């Protein structure tokens, strides 16, 4: 089943002679899988991720999001900013390169925040957040703040925050860019396995082939276009990701 | 790099920064607004300092002309009271402007470290930035002060208006005031940089702010105890004109002490309120606001401290109309002038508080811009961000204004027992000032909304 369907995505920065085409009529389908978007700097991979997640509205083209839970497609690109924000809150989990945890909140409250925003009472949201942290191997660290966590731990908290509301899609922008290779590998394993466990699609932007090796499919971008695509054998992808490295 | 090289680097950066189309230090959503705000804040602080200093100098000059007049000699003392009252808001405003200067420089400072600048050099560069903005603001403030002198000269004191020549400070006085504003900027900037580590990979807080200790409340207990012990003697002195100067001196001491104590206790109160709210919070906006108060109560206090002090001043001065009307059918001219001076002081202090709040809030938004952006991308409505910031302002405002009001009422309570009941007018002034001051703070706080919206902006920072 296709969860994300992008057609003709075009994003242009600037105007006139200095205008830059960041995305040039990109078509892409994403199912319940793990997808890596690779490419050199300036190739448009982050812009594509932002369009897929509804963070940026493209100048042309459409993105349709069909959560498996409802089966009803939503044209993300037709929504206003406030509607896209609500959609991200309920359906899309976002993981940033440096986690971007709120440093004044302890880990458990960082994770509980999306649920509270969705109207879940604080006690229930806190309990669900603690459960998610425990699933990601962070039991006992609930009250720690981001400054008291290692880089890998902080990124796991960010993953827990992205997954706690059971999203249909998880988007991650260079999720291991700020980590050493060993820690990055652990974080990726957690990200891929936990995303698969909740039945969500995972879209990872990276320039690192090792990171892409954890995903079932890779698309390569250059100058705002998808120029190539690689599929990995099932035995070397999600679930047995270690062997893909 | 030598000092000369550092200076050349700074000049080069300043030249490029002032070029059309350049951003402001890479601050997300900042643009040129933070620079404008900082300059406006320094200008307001300079204007207030020059206005108060000019008025004080005028009273001193008048007193020297009539050396035997006891009342005339009291005016410089009263002007000094006004200086003490306004010193903290002016300092707070200057310091807030300096912090704003540093807040948006973080990214640029980190990049300079990345290309080889030492920690000492980036500190010098930041100090030079602050000094430049302070100098620009001070110059604008001095011009504004010069322009406002004819208006200020219309105010009547001692039965006649000031001459413009009386209010104008000599050149050395203006230079000294500008130098004081520069000093405030540099000290505050250095203090802000001391709390962070500028590394090549970014700017990080050196430590999590430590919890405030209850020992901060000790001076409050000492002050209250001292005041209670002197209660009877102070009340007795009120009706004795021979002791008026002594009384003013005692009151001046208490006012200065209360100011200092309030600044110690304020952050403690804000932190306590934050802790209580963390437990009670049911919505994300309240939880965020409460956690931020707990995380950095000093910063929250700085945002509302100005208005708290205005409220405190208004509370103290609320008895002036009572003194003025007294039991004498012919009001004492000096009492009338105290009322006029009180209103002038309040007007200046309220203006300082509003500008200070606006600037402090702008600095905080710029500091928290990455978190705002991450929250919005994660699905948090901008309205929730606004609500959290609003509560972050409202909650300490309610506590501090309430605390200031109670403190002031305690301090003036001895006088209330010997004044007539028509001090109602004074209480009215107090209430109006408190409400007006709070309204000004909220207006200043709301003015930061475009910055929040820009910080949460939906356009990605890069094209990769």
Give B259-297 pLDDT, tens digit per residue: 777 778 888 888 888 999 999 999 989 998 898 888 878
In angstroms, the CA A96 to CA B160 distance is: 67
Residues 6+ apart with CB under 8 A from B304: B357, B393, B396, B397, B400, B401, B441
Q: What's the pLDDT at B464?
A: 41
Identify which of A202, A172, A190 has the alpha carbon closest to the alpha carbon of residue A100: A172
pLDDT over 70 (residue B360): yes
Exposure string of B137-167, with b = 16+ CB inside 10 Å and e = fewer, is bbebbbebbeeebeebbeeebbeeebeeebb
Phi, psi at residue A4, to the nearest 5°? -120, 130
A160 in contact with B, Cβ within 8 Å: no
What is the CB-side half-sphere exposure of residue A90 using CA atoms within 13 A?
15
Alpha-helix residue ranges (DSSP H) falling in B18-153: 33-65, 70-103, 106-114, 119-152
pLDDT over 50 (residue B353): yes
The secondary element (H helix, E strand) that includes residue A180 is: none
In angstroms, the CA A101 to CA A110 distance is: 7
In angstroms, the CA A58 to CA A7 distance is: 11
Lowest mean pLDDT among A213-217, B169-173, B296-300, B315-319: B315-319
Q: Which of B282, B380, B381 sits opposite A122 (nearest CB)?
A: B282
User: Closest approach of chain B CAs to the CA of A89, in angstroms?
Assistant: 4
What residues of chain A lie within 8 A of the CB of B380, using their CB?
85, 89, 113, 117
Lowest mean pLDDT among A6-15, A187-196, B133-142: A187-196
Q: What's the pLDDT at B21?
A: 46
* Strands A217-222 vs A225-231: parallel, antiparallel or unpaired: antiparallel
Q: What's the pLDDT at A8?
A: 94
Interface test with A, best of B288, B298, B377, B454 (most A CBs within 10 A): B377
Q: Is the C-alpha dihedral spanning B156, B157, B163, B166 positive or negative?
A: negative
pLDDT bucket at A122, cuts 50 / 70 / 90? very high
Cβ distance A171 to A94 under 8 Å? yes
Q: What is the token pair recorded at B20?
A: 């059309």
Cβ distance B102 to B27 under 8 Å? no
The number of beta carbons lying within 10 Å of the beta carbon of residue B127 is 20
Q: What's the pLDDT at A62?
A: 95
pLDDT bucket at B196, cuts 50 / 70 / 90? low
Q: What is the token pair recorded at B341?
A: 């001076």
Identify which of B169, B18, B116, B99 has the alpha carbon closest to the alpha carbon of residue B356: B99
In angstroms, the CA B323 to CA B342 distance is: 13
| Higher per-residue pLDDT: B74 or B167 | B167
What's the CA angle centered on B105, arms B102 and B107, to 5 degrees?
140
| Higher per-residue pLDDT: A90 or B280 | B280
3-class DSSP state of B344: helix
Residues 6+ apart with CB under 8 A from B177: B46, B49, B50, B53, B138, B142, B169
pLDDT digits (tens, 9 = 90+) for B111-154: 666 666 677 777 888 888 888 888 999 999 999 999 999 988 88
Q: Which of A85, A121, A145 sits opposite B376 (nearest CB)?
A: A85
pLDDT over 70 (residue B82): yes
Q: What's the pLDDT at B5?
A: 67
Mean residue pLDDT across chain B: 74
Identify which of A239, A191, A197 has the alpha carbon closest to the alpha carbon of residue A211: A191
Cβ distance A58 to A231 under 8 Å? no
* B463·A147 Cβ contact <8 A: no
Q: What's the pLDDT at A204?
A: 93
Q: Which of A47, A53, A100 sits opposite B370 (nearest CB)?
A: A100
Q: Is A199 left (phi over 0), alpha (psi -120 to 50) or beta?
A: left
pLDDT bucket at B13, cuts 50 / 70 / 90? low
Q: What's the pLDDT at A170?
A: 93
* Percent of chain B surpassing pLDDT 70: 65
| Higher per-residue pLDDT: A133 or B219 | A133
Exposure of A79 by Cβ count < 10 A (0-12 exposed, 13-18 middle, 19+ buried)?
middle
**Hey, what long-range contacts does A238-243 have (CB within 8 A, 24 or more apart)?**
A238/A33, A238/A34, A238/A192, A238/A193, A238/A196, A238/A214, A239/A193, A239/A196, A241/A188, A241/A189, A241/A192, A241/A193, A241/A213, A241/A214, A242/A189
Q: Which of A50, A82, A103 sits opposite B381 (nearest CB)?
A: A82
Q: What's the pLDDT at B436?
A: 80
In angstroms, the CA B158 to CA A22 distance is: 72
| Average pLDDT for B202-217 | 57
Alpha-helix residue ranges (DSSP H) falling in A20-121: 45-52, 81-91, 107-117
- Three-state secondary structure of B19-47: CCCCCCCCCCCCCCHHHHHHHHHHHHHHH
In angstroms, the CA A174 to CA A207 distance is: 8
The number of beta carbons lying within 10 Å of the beta carbon of residue A28 is 21
Q: Is A6 left (phi over 0), alpha (psi -120 to 50) or beta?
A: beta
| Average pLDDT for B3-10 | 70
Lowest mean pLDDT among A36-45, A63-72, B182-191: B182-191
Q: What is the pTM of this model?
A: 0.71
Q: What's the pLDDT at A30?
A: 94
pLDDT over 90 (residue B205): no
* Strands A92-95 vs A169-173: parallel, antiparallel or unpaired: parallel
Q: What's the pLDDT at B19?
A: 53
pLDDT over 90 (residue A201): yes
In angstroms, the CA B229 to CA B241 distance is: 22
How many contacts (CB atoms, under 8 Å) link A and B? 96
Lowest mean pLDDT among A190-194, B226-230, B409-413: B226-230
Q: What's the pLDDT at A243?
A: 35
What residues of chain B lie within 8 A of the CB of A57, using their CB?
458
User: Closest approach of chain B CAs to the CA of A235, in angstroms?
Assistant: 31
Q: What is the token pair recorded at A208?
A: 């690192």
Q: What's the pLDDT at A61?
A: 94
What residues of chain B lie within 8 A of the CB of A76, using their CB?
none
pLDDT bucket at B50, cuts 50 / 70 / 90? very high
Residues 6+ apart with CB under 8 A from A96: A158, A172, A173, A175, B374, B377
| Average pLDDT for B307-312 | 72
* Percent of chain A surpassing pLDDT 70: 94
Q: What is the token pair recorded at B317?
A: 């001065």
Identify which of B113, B127, B92, B94 has the alpha carbon closest to the alpha carbon of residue B204: B113
* B378·A43 Cβ contact <8 A: no
Interface test with A, best of B288, B389, B464 (most A CBs within 10 A): B464
Strand order in the sheet with A74-75: A20-31, A2-13, A60-65, A74-75
In angstroms, the CA A53 to CA A51 distance is: 5
| Average pLDDT for A109-114 | 90
């Amino acid at each position: 089943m296709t969860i994300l369907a992008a057609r003709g995505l075009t994003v242009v920065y600037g105007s006139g002679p200095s205008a830059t085409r960041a995305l040039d009529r990109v078509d892409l389908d994403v199912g319940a899988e793990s997808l890596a978007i690779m490419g050199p700097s300036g190739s448009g991979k982050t812009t594509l991720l932002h369009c897929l997640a509804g963070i940026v509205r493209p100048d042309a083209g459409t993105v349709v999001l069909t959560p498996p839970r409802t089966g009803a497609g939503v044209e993300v690109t037709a929504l206003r900013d406030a509607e896209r924000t609500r959609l991200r809150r309920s359906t899309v989990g976002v993981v940033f390169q440096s986690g971007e945890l709120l440093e004044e909140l302890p880990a458990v409250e960082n994770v509980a925040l999306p649920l509270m925003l969705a109207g879940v009472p604080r006690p229930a949201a806190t309990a669900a957040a603690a459960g998610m942290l425990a699933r990601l191997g962070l039991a006992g660290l609930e009250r720690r703040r981001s400054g008291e966590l290692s880089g890998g731990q902080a990124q796991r908290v960010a993953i827990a925050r992205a997954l706690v509301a059971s999203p249909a899609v998880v988007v991650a922008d260079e999720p291991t860019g700020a980590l050493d290779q060993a820690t990055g590998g652990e974080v990726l394993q957690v990200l891929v396995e936990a995303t698969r466990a909740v039945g969500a699609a995972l879209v990872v932007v990276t320039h690192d082939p090792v990171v892409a090796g954890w995903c079932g499919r890779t698309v390569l971008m250059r100058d705002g276009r998808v120029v190539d695509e690689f599929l990995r054998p099932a035995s070397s992808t999600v679930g047995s990701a270690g062997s893909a490295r | 790099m030598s000092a000369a090289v550092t200076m050349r680097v700074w000049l080069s950066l300043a030249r490029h920064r002032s070029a059309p189309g350049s951003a402001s230090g890479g601050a997300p959503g900042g643009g040129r607004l933070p620079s404008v705000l900082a300059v406006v804040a320094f200008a307001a602080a300079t204007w207030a300092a020059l206005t108060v200093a000019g008025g004080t100098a005028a009273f001193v000059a008048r007193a020297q002309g009539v050396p035997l007049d006891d009342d005339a000699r009291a005016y410089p003392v009263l002007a000094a009271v006004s200086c003490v009252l306004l010193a903290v808001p002016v300092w707070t405003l200057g310091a807030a402007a300096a912090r704003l200067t540093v807040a948006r420089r973080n990214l640029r400072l980190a990049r300079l470290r990345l290309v080889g600048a030492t920690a000492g050099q980036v500190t010098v560069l930041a100090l030079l930035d602050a000094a430049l903005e302070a100098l620009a603001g001070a110059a604008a403030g001095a011009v504004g002060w010069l322009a406002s002198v004819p208006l200020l000269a219309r105010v009547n004191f001692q039965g006649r208006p000031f001459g413009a020549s009386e209010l104008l400070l000599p050149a050395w006085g203006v230079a000294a005031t500008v130098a004081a504003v520069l000093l405030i900027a540099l000290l505050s900037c250095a203090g802000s940089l001391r709390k962070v580590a500028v590394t090549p990979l970014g700017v990080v807080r050196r430590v999590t702010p430590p919890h405030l200790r209850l020992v901060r409340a000790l001076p409050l207990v000492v002050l209250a105890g001292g005041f209670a012990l002197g209660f009877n003697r102070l009340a007795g002195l009120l009706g004795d004109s021979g002791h008026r100067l002594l009384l003013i001196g005692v009151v001046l001491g208490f006012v200065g002490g209360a100011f200092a104590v309030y600044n110690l206790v304020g952050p403690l109160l804000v932190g306590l309120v934050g802790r209580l709210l963390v437990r009670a919070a049911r919505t994300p906006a309240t939880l965020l606001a409460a956690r931020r108060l707990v995380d950095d109560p000093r910063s929250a206090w700085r945002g509302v401290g100005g208005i708290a002090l205005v409220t405190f001043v208004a509370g103290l001065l609320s008895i002036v109309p009572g003194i003025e009307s007294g039991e004498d059918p012919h009001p004492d001219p000096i009492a009338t002038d105290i009322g006029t001076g009180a209103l002038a002081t309040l007007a200046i202090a309220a203006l300082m508080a509003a500008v200070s709040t606006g600037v402090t809030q702008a600095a905080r938004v710029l500091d928290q811009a990455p978190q705002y952006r991450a929250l919005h991308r994660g699905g948090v409505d901008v309205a929730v961000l606004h609500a959290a910031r609003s509560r972050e302002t409202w909650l300490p405002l309610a506590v501090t204004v309430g605390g200031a009001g109670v403190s002031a009422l305690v301090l003036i309570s001895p006088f209330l027992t010997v004044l007539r009941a028509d001090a109602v007018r004074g209480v009215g002034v107090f209430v109006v000032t408190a409400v007006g001051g709070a309204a000004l703070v909220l207006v200043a706080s709301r003015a930061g909304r475009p910055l929040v919206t820009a910080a949460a902006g939906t356009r990605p920072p890069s094209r990769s």
